[in-house]
Structures are given as structure tokens and as C-alpha cells.
Amino acid sequence: MKRIDLQRLQPTFSKLIKNYLVRHKISQGQLAIFVGIGRNHLNPLINGSPNRRLSAYYINHFISRGVFTVDQIFDGHPESDRETEFWEKMKVAENNELVEDILFLKENGIDIADEIKIRAANSRKQKL
């Protein structure tokens, strides 16, 4: 994910982060700890430092922790198939209802990964 460069989204990222910091009355260091990135990484990302480029790796941390959503950060213009796949994964990851359902099934002994593989295989067979 580090290799999916999203530097074009840096101005939007910067605004979203600054608004989040003000709204939640926290420091950059506190936010960095909350999302799980190095404290010394956040400031260069906010300021668009050429030494710390915004990538899918970093965006993932912020979406996963609910700092912002895909709709808030994504410009709708992926520049590669890998980027398209990244945004699709992020949309699934931020679907809290889906995540809760998956955890419920797992808690009740249902291996959702196996279920998905079986259904996907059956769907592929039907398409042939």
C-alpha cells in the first residue's frame, strides 16, 4: 500500500486532519498514536513534505480508525487498478454494519472466509 501514491489528495487530507484536531481538541501526537502511525510522520503528511508522501498506507490508518471516510477523501479518479482495488477495500472496511456481522458470525463459530470462498467459487462456476 505504501507504493500507491495519493499525494494528489494531500490538500484534502490536510483539511480533514486539521478539522478533526480542532473538533476533537487533540494534538497531532495524540492523533498519530490513535491511528497507529509514528508521531513524527503526521506533521509532514499534513504539510505536504516531499520527504513523506501521502500513500494508501497512511490513508488506510485514518479510514480504519474513523477519522474520515472514503467519500470525504477520495476524489473519484483512481490512477491505477491497484488504487481502484484499494478504495474498494476501504469502502468495505468502513462498513461498520458488515464488520459487526462478520464478527458476530465468527463469535458463533462460522468461518466467514470459507463461506465467501465457497460462494465466490459457485458464482464463478455459474458464469461459465
The model's pLDDT over 69-102, given as tens digits with 9 standing for 90+, comes to 999 999 999 999 999 999 999 999 888 888 888 8
Per-residue HEC secondary structure of 30-50 comes to HHHHHHCCCHHHHHHHHHCCC
3-state secondary structure of 7: helix
Cell reading at 113: 472466509
- Three cell numbers at 4? 500507491
SS3 content of the chain, % helix, strand, coil (to 5): 70, 0, 30
Largest CA distance in the chain: 55
All domains of the chain, ordered by start, with CATH? 7-94 (1.10.260), 96-128 (no CATH)
Give the model confidence (pLDDT) of 25-74 as tens digits: 999 999 999 999 998 999 999 998 888 999 999 999 999 999 999 999 99
* Of 39, 90, 86, nearest in space to 62 by CA: 90
pTM of the complete model: 0.79
